[in-house]
Chain A
Amino acid sequence: MSTTTYPASYRFDPPSATASLSTRWFAIGLAAGVAAIAGALSSGQHFYRGYLIGYMLILGFSLGSLALLMLGHLTGGNWWMIGRRVMEAAIGNLPLLTILFIPIWLGRHSLYIWLDPAYVTAHASVAAKGAYLNDRFWTLRAVIYFAIWNLWALALRSGSARQDGDASPAVWQKLKVWSAPGMLVYGITITLACTDWVMSLDPAWYSTIFGMFFMISEMLSVMALMIVILCSLRGFAPYSKILGPDKLHDYGKLMLAFTMVWAYFSFSQWLIIWAGNLPEEITWYLDRIHGGWQTVALALVFLQFALPFMLLLSRELKRDARKLVPVALLVLVMRYVDLYWLVAPNPFPGTSADAHHLTYHWTYFAAPLALVSIWLGAFFWHLGKRPLLVVTEPMLPRLWEPSHGH
């Protein structure tokens, strides 16, 4: 592969639109944040749940990007080269996510029932998990997860910045060296983190596939988000030159694959628990298919799986941005609904109030909206800092070649 000089019309600089997008999202985030804080004062327990739903969603945007970025360093691919700076901007938000975790730590007694000594004494199976599920170890683990994630984000982002000015293979080889163990570390940390922050909301329940389910959910979120962001910036160089129907087709195919794996893991977990029919396992599902929650469950079956699956089978739809973006937006909305269904039906700590009937508090909307907006504001700020493609990428000229050139 020869070193390609690009025609002068090829621009890699981020469009100035990123700055105004950043400001706009920060403004929305601020407004929604004020509303969410008002909600916190009126109903702390609902606010923290809403916050957790939003937090897990934006954490998924960043960690899913981290996973796909490292995967791409090891495997390559045209879709990856196009989306690389988008994913790098997303992992640039990990320091922000570390700060945004503080409210969860502060509100942990309103979120996690196993922090209530009376509950633990009354439930022998939860008391038996005390060596893992206790305040101090839970906090320590959170510190470790964020230290690891920030370390990898820093290494991958600084290495990538160096690549902008230095085409020597040593620079990108080093990124591969970080990526291979990074995949393993991501798998372990996200499994433990989703156990700590989501599964432990119902401390009596357990599922070993939950971590895998979370990983795939995060990657599905990122694939949908990347389609929306890339298509919304398709009017600007360099995306306008390279994001043709064949490239969109790749993104559509990947979103179809992740949609199917999401359904596969969700169904596997449910089938095994249904077949086992053990009291300590099935209660989690019983809470989620009665008292109005079954509507949400069915919405997930049809709108997170069946409808996107059938639509994405169409080749024509995957190659047309105007049709693909609405499907990606549906997937993103359903990611939020899925997290709502995972978080909201759990028992409330410290009160006799139970969540066995469908509950929707307005902070479930305000807090996630604030978090997603702040995340997008910071994301566009990061995206505007670097060229949108890594010019020294050895395989980059492939993006300009006609697709039959391989």
Chain B
Amino acid sequence: MTDQVLHGVVAEFTTPDGLVIACKKARAAGYSRMDAYTPYPLEEAAEAIGFTKTQVPLLTLIGGILGGLSGYLLQYWVHVLAYPMNVGGRPLHSWPSFIIITFEMTILFAGITAVVGMLTLNGLPQPYHPIFNHPRFTAASRDRFFLCIEAADPRFELEKTTRFLQATDAIDVAEVAD
């Protein structure tokens, strides 16, 4: 492995508790470039590695506002400018009846922006990731919890980081090539 570029050091845990505690310790020790891998969504682990803020809510809000505006303006253009028609004597600009489409367009755009924004920001789908080089990593989708401290971390030192992870509840600590 010596001539290969290192991706990071990976620790394997059997319980979510072990993982979360190790994540908190790693953050307290000053590590910042790390990732946790779990078989099911584990909100606490995300918080523990410092992944607290994401841009997705803001993107969703912007998408929702744009969707609502486009829905309203489309109706305004159709009913007032392009094809004005008298329906039962109601004003051309009948905003109450525009609300439903506006609402639906808000939801549609917000939903699409949330999904596309999430995929863009997290880089999925990702057919290759260095962590797959870990021989036991398939267990991350069954019953094991992994924490990887990446070599790109400014505080990363192979021996020190390995010893640090061995001091946690990890059942196995291994190096993973990039």
Q: Which residues of A contact B (CB under 8 A)?
A: 267, 270-271, 274-275, 277, 402-405
User: Within the complex, what minimum Cβ distance (angstroms) separates A113 from chain B?
Assistant: 29
State the CA gap A199–B31 with chains docked (Å): 64
Q: For A275, list chain B residues within 8 Å (CB).
A: 96-97
Decide: A404 and B45 in contact? CB cutoff 8 A. yes
Q: For B100, list chain A residues within 8 Å (CB).
A: 271
Known: A402-B17, A404-B16, A404-B20. A274 touches B96 (CB 8 A): yes
Contact with A along B1-41 (1 / 0, CB 8 A): 00000000000000011001000000000000000000000
User: Within the complex, what minimum Cβ distance (angstroms) separates A300 from chain B?
Assistant: 16
State the CA gap A277–B88 with chains docked (Å): 9
User: Within the complex, what minimum Cβ distance (angstroms) separates B103 from chain A?
Assistant: 9
Task: Supply 11 A–B pairs (Cβ within 8 Å), ascending by A.
Answer: A271-B97, A275-B96, A275-B97, A277-B90, A403-B43, A403-B44, A404-B17, A404-B20, A404-B44, A404-B45, A405-B16
User: Within the complex, what minimum Cβ distance (angstroms) separates B55 from chain A?
Assistant: 14
Q: For B45, list chain A residues within 8 Å (CB).
A: 404
User: Within the complex, what minimum Cβ distance (angstroms) separates A288 from chain B?
Assistant: 15
User: Within the complex, what minimum Cβ distance (angstroms) separates A65 from chain B?
Assistant: 30
State the CA gap A13–B44 with chains docked (Å): 31
State the CA gap A275–B42 with chains docked (Å): 48
User: Within the complex, what minimum Cβ distance (angstroms) separates A403 from chain B?
Assistant: 7
B119 at the interface (CB under 8 A from A): no
User: Within the complex, what minimum Cβ distance (angstroms) separates A264 from chain B?
Assistant: 9
Decide: A404 and B97 in contact? CB cutoff 8 A. no
The 9 lowest CB-CB distance pairs between A and B, nearest first, are A404-B44, A404-B16, A404-B42, A274-B96, A271-B96, A275-B97, A404-B20, A403-B44, A277-B88
Decide: B99 and A267 in contact? CB cutoff 8 A. yes
User: Within the complex, what minimum Cβ distance (angstroms) separates A83 from chain B?
Assistant: 22
Q: For B43, list chain A residues within 8 Å (CB).
A: 403-404
Nearest to B61 among chain A residues (CB) is A313
User: Within the complex, what minimum Cβ distance (angstroms) separates B116 from chain A?
Assistant: 20
State the CA gap A405–B42 with chains docked (Å): 9
Residues in B103-136 with C-beta less than 8 Å from chain A: none
Contact with A along B77-107 (1 / 0, CB 8 A): 0000000000010100000110110000000
